Amino acid sequence: MRYRCPCCGYKTLEGPGALVLCPVCWWEDDGQEDRDASEVRLTVNGQLSLKQARVNFAQYGAADPRFLPYIRKPLVTEM
Ligand SMILES: [Zn+2]
C-alpha cells in the first residue's frame, strides 16, 4: 500500500512525511497537507508552498518548472 503524494496525487510515496522526493512532481513530502497547504515552511521545498506546488503541477506538470528535467510519468500502479 503506497501513500498518495500531497502535491500531484499519485501514489508514489512509502508513507506520509518521509522526506522523500516524489518522482512524478518532485515535491519533497515533509508532511505538509491540506490544512497548512498555503504555508511556506522554508524547509526542504524552499520558498514553495504545497498550494503553489499544486498550481505549478497543474500548469507545468511539476511542483516547480525548474524540476521538469528530473520528473517522470506516473506508473500504472501509482494511479
Ligand atoms: Zn508528487
Structure confidence by residue, pLDDT tens digits, 18-34:
899 999 999 999 999 99
For the chain, which ranges sit under pLDDT 50?
Answer: none
pLDDT, residue 49, reads 97
Nearest to 74 by CA among 7, 11, 6: 11
Residue 20 phi, psi dihedral angles, 5° rounding:
-115, 140
CA–centroid distance, residue 75 to ligand 1 (Å):
12
CA–centroid distance, residue 23 to ligand 1 (Å):
7
* CA pair distance 54, 45, nearest whole angstrom: 13
CA–centroid distance, residue 34 to ligand 1 (Å):
14
Q: Looking at this protein, which amino acid is placed at residue 2?
A: R
